[in-house]
Structure 1
């Protein structure tokens, strides 16, 4: 998918001061989504294993061989705990402290919950396309930057009454622009190192555009997550999209590089970004109580001690993923154990249902919405 250096060349940080700290709001019971007011934030982080999501850090991988000049003792203190429940909460505190209790999560294979991709390829572009269109397309068989021939649910929704002009996507990986087919989709589709120019320029946005252009690049086709995230924040504050997509990539990059410490840090930052998005939503009257947050990954990875670095058809277990959601219309099932398997192909119809549209009628090949989604009719 990308170019992976053997050693860390640069460490890039955007100051967290860009986001305000707002008290979180909790819902005591499942409230149906009101399609005329609902907003959907779909977040994907590339190649994050279900194992870390549900078990937390794997202490056996916190060795010098799996890290690049990082303080192992510090990583152990930060992420290693005596139980999987404590370890996963240390790694992703917002996911386990707010999203799961107030929503649901699928994919813990230790408790019999099955979430997987259906494309059979178990790598990035096929996973993104399956998520966005609702079915696996055999023509999407590489990570080459080829415009998606399929209409995504976001492109279709952007043309529906009340939703036109209310859609945007952001991705750290440049190919995300192709997954949405920028030439055709009709909305802001910002990816990779591109500057954002579709909203009025602000000092912060100007700085972000310059940082993306001028910071030394570790990966030729992908930025660090921070500039992508904060660029997306600028857009949300300016345009208040109803349908928002964000793809982050460092979880995959550092895993491919065999750098487990950086992989854990990237995972922890993803959780921090989720919290900040939710805080933004709860601080804004337009978004408050009318925003659903969905989190998943494009593919899984293999097992430790070696195959955790990789994924693909030769690693069958890399088809297993996780899916988490919180917001109006999302059942309060918490951590789902056992039950019917869920798939990546169900996300597109879920997004459409939350805003009152039927993606399955438009695209019969797509998977059905996730079970139990409640909307006002």
Structure 2
């Protein structure tokens, strides 16, 4: 056989193998994990709070806000606030955490603020001894993102985006090697899209109300552009505005932010349903890192009742469409990471205190 023929056959073998691998990767389960920082179950399941929406202390323009979000029933109010969640997700997925029906989702950590909450979601366990502040300290624990990224089959297929500047430390970007774009970081690389270039130019020109949290529209659009180009198989998006507007006592902005985030999540979902890499094989898992007080709604923490109360939403590829759960149940944030391992057909981690969700897939 001629040398040129051997080279040609070798080339085609590599080409066919590469295509086969690409097709196999396309069929694998993809996961989009999303958090809305400090967003209460009360607004998610019952819409705008009557007392707060009428309180001039927390609302600058009550009439405008009520026209936008106030309706006669909780069901109508929640649709007005989160139309994608209640018009679409409720028909194709599962919404856990409406305590009015005894569907209970809690954090298991005793701290009940952001870093410990994210640690629990991402590692499958609380760590009250070592994770006890919101400081920019690298997480000693290994997240599910890092575990998946350490698998040679998924190397380079994991990414994270966050509005809060502490997210890279929670994921331990330095040790894990996972690309994290958070805080006021810009997109980087030699092959940025025109939209990423525009976002980089715009971000520094649009002031954020906070020193360590950027506006969620930047986080969401950076993530979406990355998904278009790099096609990660596991991606984490952490939105931050709802928590900070609540701390500021700005209920008007808190509701508007939740409404905008609903639209941002819909945009990402719609992309996954059009893109061949994600279509029909992607599951979205959405939750929050902690709750808030029912009366002390601006606050959360170990001494604020209600801070342990969270919620959990799952929808997408072959997820049982159970809608809003209206039966007694007890779930925890520490179940999210082991559920991701199970969905990606990874070995169970005995160090994770949480158990994978049951009754999830069809």
Taking structure 1 as the reference length, the TM-score comes to 0.86
**Corresponding residue of 2:67:** 77
- My pick for the range that moved more, 327-336 or 265-274, is 327-336
Native 8 Å contact 2:102 2:329 kept in 1? no
Query: Could you say which residue in structure 2 is the equivalent of 1:66?
Result: 58
Instruction: Report the secondary structure of 2:57's partner residue.
Output: helix
SS at match of 1:173: coil
Matches within 5 A, 1:333-344: 333-344=322-333
1:346 alignment counterpart:
335
What per-residue deviation string (whole Å, max 9, x for no partner) do you get for residues 186-206 of structure 1?
A: 121111001121462233212
Q: Which position in structure 2 is the counterpart of 1:290?
A: 281
- Counterpart Cα distance in 1 of 2:110 and 2:90: 28
CA contact (8 A) 1:353 1:369 kept: yes
| Alpha-carbon distance between aligned partners in 2 of 1:255 and 1:46, rounded to the nearest angstrom | 10
Gaps of 5+ in 1: 1-33
Q: Distance in 2 between matches of 1:52 and 1:324?
A: 14
Match of 1:219 in 2: 210
Task: Decide whether the 8 Å contact of 2:123 with 2:352 is kept in 1.
Answer: no
Q: Deviations over 1:120-156 (max 9, x none)?
A: 1110000000000000012100000101111100111
How many residue pairs align between the two structures?
A: 336
- Change in CA separation of 1:203 and 1:365 when aligned onto 2, cut-off 3 Å: closer
The answer for the alignment partner of 1:175 in structure 2 is 166
The answer for the alignment partner of 2:307 in structure 1 is: 318
Q: Tell me what 1:19 maps to.
A: none
Instruction: Determine the structure 2 residue equivalent to 1:374.
Output: 361
Moved more, 314-323 or 332-341: 332-341
Q: Which residue of 1 aligns with 2:198?
A: 207
> Could you say which residue in structure 2 is the equivalent of 1:24?
none
* Corresponding residue number in structure 2 for 1:120: 110
Segments of structure 2 that go 5 or more residues without pairing to the other structure are 1-24
**CA deviation vs aligned residue, 1:281-300 (integer Å, no higher than 9, x gap):** 11111111111011100000
- DSSP 3-state at the match of 1:317: coil
Q: 1:120 to 1:265 in 2, by over 3 A?
A: same
Is residue 92 of structure 2 the alignment partner of residue 105 of structure 1? no
Secondary structure of the corresponding residue to residue 254 of structure 2: helix
Match of 1:249 in 2: 240
CA distance in 2, matches of 1:265, 1:204: 24
Match of 2:141, SS state, is coil
Give me the whole-angstrom Cα distance separating, in 1, the residues matched to 2:26 and 2:319: 13
Q: Which of these residues, 240, 265, 271, is aligned with residue 262 of structure 2?
A: 271
CA contact (8 A) 2:26 2:278 kept: no
4+ residue runs of structure 1 moved beyond 3 angstroms? none
> Compared with structure 1, are the counterparts of its residues 41 and 225 closer, same or farther at alpha carbon in structure 2 (3 Å cutoff)?
same
Q: 1:175/1:203 Cα in 2 relative to 1: closer, same or farther (>3 Å)?
A: same
Q: Contact (CA 8 Å) 1:172, 1:191: kept in 2 or not?
A: yes
Instruction: Answer yes or no: is the 8 Å Cα contact 1:188–1:198 preserved in 2.
Output: no
Question: In the alignment, is the contact (CA less than 8 A) between 2:280 and 2:317 conserved in 1?
Answer: yes
Distance 1:217 1:268, change over 3 A: closer
Q: Separation in 1 of the partners of 2:32 and 2:287? A: 11
The RMSD of aligned alpha carbons is: 1.6
What secondary structure sits across from 1:177 in the alignment? helix
- Structure 1 residues 368 and 81, CA gap change in structure 2 (3 angstroms): same
Following superposition, the deviation at residue 35 of structure 1 comes to: 10
1:40-51 matches, within 5 Å, as 40-51=31-42
| Cα distance per residue 1:280-339 (max 9 Å; x no partner) | 0111111111110111000000113xx011100111311000100101242222111233
